[in-house]
Amino acid sequence: MAENKKTLIVVVGPTAVGKTAMGIALAQHFQTEIISADSRQFYKEMTIGTAKPDALELAAAKHHFIDSHSIEDEYSAGDFERDALSLLETLFEQHDVVVMVGGSGLFVRAVCEGLDNLPKAPVEVRERLNARLANEGINVLQEALKEVDPVYYATADIHNPQRVIRALEVFEATGQPISSFQVSGGADRTFNTITIGLNMPREALYERINLRVDKMIDAGLVEEVKRLFAYKEKPALLTVGYAEIFDYLDGHISLEEAVEKIKQNTRRYAKRQITWFKKYGNTTWFEPNDQEGILTHLVTQM
């Protein structure tokens, strides 16, 4: 590690693995604060379906980027990069270490490595692609992306409508694939980054996911989604836990089917998260309950 540099500890891993608890434990150990890099926990209207830290967890360590925006706001990974780096500058004046917790790979990468300055597409292009998504489904857009940008298609999270639409937007606006704008090598950062990955045997993780979904339903997920019905076309709501309940509310499937689909899609999402983070950077992996092993590792790296 370079001398005199501050350190950002990044806790990554699949949904439901225990990142929130570990982030709080590390923040308390280092007497510091937490930046959330979860692309849906920004939105104050989305609580149950995003598994936000509860009141006790929020009181245990100061969190940033939880309930920081409205679902009416457009908030991109590039916006987060700018705002998080600005916040880190302030936090590093008071702390030698800051903890960042998140399962959204693009948002983690934005802070740690930087994102390329992608061109903005006209609003009408996005609206047209969103209409195609609603009318024809994600498979049609995936095939379109595969045709115009096989390089990006092979590495991107093609099950995330927002990512697929963004890539098609860039192509339609510029005539060039989004992969041509991606340069190798990260941006210079004034801090060191240590990335900790949490994982557990797949069966145990899937059990935790299923239990969490049941708890979300009991906590009032359907009512939360009903309140958001007017915003159902927003990218943040085209995601697991919300899209399935919208299908139920639209009368396409039963509530029981919606719940089973949420569990299945969340398990698939967790698998993609693990794949993404295993390819990403220098991540060292631990069991979620191995706090002692993680602290020992961090000490040797700092």
- pLDDT 10s digits, 68-92: 999 998 888 889 999 999 999 999 9
The response to whether 15 counts as a known ligand-binding position is yes
Looking at 3.40.50.2300, 1.10.20.140, 3.30.460.20, 3.40.190.10, the CATH number of the domain 123-181 comes to 1.10.20.140
Across the strands, what pairs with 69?
43
| Rounded Cα–Cα distance for residues 243 and 132 (Å) | 16
Domain spans of the chain? Answer: 6-115+184-301, 123-181
What lies within 8 Å, CB to CB, of 216 at 6+ separation is 48, 49, 51, 241, 262
The response to whether 17 counts as a known ligand-binding position is yes
Q: What pLDDT digit, counting tens, does each position of 9-66 carry?
A: 999 999 999 999 999 999 999 999 999 999 999 999 999 999 999 999 999 999 999 9
The answer to whether the 6-115+184-301 and 123-181 domains have the same CATH topology is: no
State both tokens at 298. Answer: 């961090």
- According to the model, what pLDDT value does residue 182 have? 59
Q: Is the pLDDT of residue 183 over 70?
A: no
| Rounded Cα–Cα distance for residues 82 and 57 (Å) | 26
The response to whether 20 counts as a known ligand-binding position is yes
The response to whether 19 counts as a known ligand-binding position is yes
Assigned superfamily of 6-115+184-301: P-loop containing nucleotide triphosphate hydrolases (3.40.50.300)
Nearest alpha carbon to residue 248 among 266, 270, 221: 221
The response to whether 150 counts as a known ligand-binding position is no
The response to whether 16 counts as a known ligand-binding position is yes
- Model-level pTM greater than 0.95? no
